[in-house]
Every structure is written in C-alpha cells, then in structure tokens.
C-alpha cells in the first residue's frame, strides 16, 4: 500500500504517545471549592462579591476601639499608621492627605481591604458583620454616611465617594470615550 512518508511519521508519533497525554504533565491536583473560597474574596465596585451580613456605625465604633485604634488613632487619625479619616479637599493641594475617605473611589473597596488585610497582625479574622460595621464607622467618620445608616450588600455599593470621579481609567469605556469626544 502506498503511504506518503509524512503521514507515516505522524501516525507513528500518535501511536507512541502515552494514553494520558491529554491530562497534562500530571503535576498537582485540582483545587477544591473549599480551598479556593478563602482566596475568592474580591469585591467589585458595583458590589458584586459582597457577602450577606450588615453592620451599623455604632457596632463599628465598638470593634474599632478594640481592634484598630492602637494603629490608626482616635476616630481614624493621629495613630502610628495610616490616617483613615479626613483629608477631603486636600487632593488639589501639594500636600495631599490621602485617606479612604478623601482618596478611595469606591466604598466597596473599604470592605474588601479590611476583610482581606486588617487587623494587620491578624488578617481575615473579622466576621462579615464586623467588616460591614467598621466600613460604616469609617464612612460616617469621614462624613460620607449618616450615623443611622446601616451597611450591607445593598446599601454599600450605593454610597458615593467624594473622589469617585478623580481617577482616569487605563482602559476607556464607551461612556468615557464619548465624554472625551465631547471635550
């Protein structure tokens, strides 16, 4: 039977490949949902990813007094580490005071950051209710929400931050392109 040389070689290669070749190099095991969950905690600016739970300003103050004040100071300033309250109106100045209140564009990021990284010496130790409450407390101290407001997955994404319009998107959206064209 006539067979072109190239076809013979190809057939030979297939015939000698190990049967599990499609499964990759056989290194490691797929991660389980249970092991993935602690890493899968990003919150989007529109609130996607926010967990159930809620927290008031008052409850947040109580947690803050216990777990945050030593590093961030009374009512969010004057501590040895980052100032969390104040600085609004300073971004136009040479000496900017960047806090979560003056600088951060989305309130949902405050939740994400605290849950992920604080308290510094014991990250991911807070309950979701505590994180909502701390977020409410910091928003209140920054004059962004009222004392009676409660933060949860519905209310938090609706909070408008003073510097929301202060960032330039690296990847323009249709809307931002339209706005650019109008200038």
Summarize as ranges the residues that interact with ligand HEC (CB under 6 A): 67-68, 70-72, 81-82, 84, 99-100, 110, 113-114, 118-121, 134
Which residue, chain included where needed, has tokens 């929400």?
145
Which residue, chain included where needed, has tokens 């407390």?
137
Q: Which two tokens stand for residue 106?
A: 């989305």
Closer to ligand HEC by CB, 111 or 157: give it. 111
Alpha carbon distance 103, 96 (integer Å): 9
Alpha carbon distance 122, 65 (integer Å): 16
Sign of CA dihedral 157, 67, 41, 102: positive
> Please, what is the minimum distance in Å from the beta carbon of residue 19 to ligand HEC?
49
Closer to ligand HEC by CB, 113 or 150: give it. 113
Closer to ligand HEC by CB, 127 or 176: give it. 127
> Please, what is the minimum distance in Å from the beta carbon of residue 59 to ligand HEC?
12
> Please, what is the minimum distance in Å from the beta carbon of residue 47 to ligand HEC?
18
């Amino acid at each position: 039977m006539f067979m072109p040389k190239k076809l013979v070689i190809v057939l030979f290669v297939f015939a000698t490949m190990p049967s599990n070749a499609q499964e990759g190099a056989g290194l490691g095991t797929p991660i389980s949902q249970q092991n993935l969950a602690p890493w899968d905690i990003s919150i989007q600016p529109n609130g996607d990813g926010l967990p159930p739970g809620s927290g008031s300003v008052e409850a947040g103050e109580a947690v803050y007094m216990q777990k945050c004040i030593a590093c961030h100071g009374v009512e969010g300033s004057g501590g040895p580490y980052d100032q969390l309250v104040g600085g609004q109106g300073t971004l136009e100045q040479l000496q900017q005071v960047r806090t979560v209140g003056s600088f951060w564009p989305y309130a949902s990021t405050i939740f994400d950051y605290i849950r992920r990284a604080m308290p510094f010496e014991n990250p991911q130790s807070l309950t979701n209710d505590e994180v909502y409450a701390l977020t409410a407390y910091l928003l209140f101290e920054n004059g962004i929400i009222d004392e009676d407001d409660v933060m949860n997955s519905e209310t938090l994404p609706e909070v408008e931050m003073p510097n929301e319009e202060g960032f330039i998107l690296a990847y323009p959206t249709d809307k931002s392109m339209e706005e650019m064209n109008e200038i």
